[in-house]
Amino acid sequence: MATLKLTPAAAATPAPAPEAAPGAAPTAPDWCHPRRLRQWGLRRGWRCQLRRRERWVKRALDLGLCALVGVPAAVIVAGLALAVRWDTPGKALFAQPRVGRNGRTFRMWKLRTMVTNAQALEPDLQHLNELPWPDFKISNDPRVTRVGRWLRRTSLDELPQIWNIVRGEMSWVGPRPTSFGLERYQLWHTERLATPPGLTGLWQIVARAECDFDQRLRLDLAYVRNWRLGLDLAILAATVRAVLQQRGAK
């Protein structure tokens, strides 16, 4: 298995500054600006739970898209898995425990983009963290492999999560599931758990990796409170554009 050892020089080298300051307010397109979503919410009435019919519509969209792209995605994942194994020894796929709908934990699948001992190296890299707690992000993370850097730029490392969508653990669009547990949530954060977590979401197209947890939470809540089918379709279309432009991917 490929592992990485941090030398004192590598551990002490400061990371380059991020493209945008973590505290900077994200800039949203007009159609999904939080102010516009608030106006929509005021017209129809605030609520954080999808009605039964809306849950069926959202699930039908999820399964329909899975049926449409499932086979091509499986072929692509198989080819990428071979590239990951060729680059560094170790498993090509890995599962992370994530917090999902109603606070339930599930295993989220991804293509491996880091060395196999990445988790063990995290405490030695805490001083390079660029985002406020509880997030952890380093530009030019030394644990990321060559193939992993390309997978992250193109977001193809997320493709295995189509399996999570088929299982009903995730949706194509929704708040991104967190890797930290409920003990780190504040009370106002928990509203984001009222809907299934998504492969993409509002903050992925507004800021991608450029905003902190509280800013992402506000975008997540704007999505949860204002869900409609057209919003999901618009976010999916904007996500495709953002991925093709490799905008904000880390």
Domain positions in the chain: 49-244
The per-residue pLDDT for 220 is 87
* 4 class by beta-carbon count within 10 Å (0-12 exposed, 13-18 middle, 19+ buried): middle
The per-residue pLDDT for 56 is 95
The per-residue pLDDT for 248 is 54
The per-residue pLDDT for 148 is 92
The per-residue pLDDT for 167 is 96
Beta bridge partners of 97: 107
* Best CA proximity match to 112, nearest among 143, 172, 157, 163: 157
* Low-confidence stretches of the chain (pLDDT beneath 70): 1-48, 130-135, 207-211, 246-250
The angle subtended at Cα 236 by Cα 187 and Cα 207, nearest 5°, is 55
Residue 176 is given by DSSP the state P
Contact criterion met (CB below 8 Å) for 153 and 249: yes
The per-residue pLDDT for 21 is 45
The per-residue pLDDT for 204 is 80
User: For the residues of 63-87, what is the DSSP string, one character each?
Assistant: HHHHHHHHHHHHHHHHHHHHHHHHH
Distances from the Cα of 231 to the Cα of 32, 53, 228, angstroms: 8, 16, 5
Other CB atoms within a 10 A radius of the CB of residue 157 amount to 22
Which contiguous run of DSSP H or E holds residue 62?
helix 52-87
From CA 79, how far away is CA 230, in angstroms rounded?
33
* Best CA proximity match to 163, nearest among 106, 232, 229, 240: 106
The per-residue pLDDT for 242 is 81
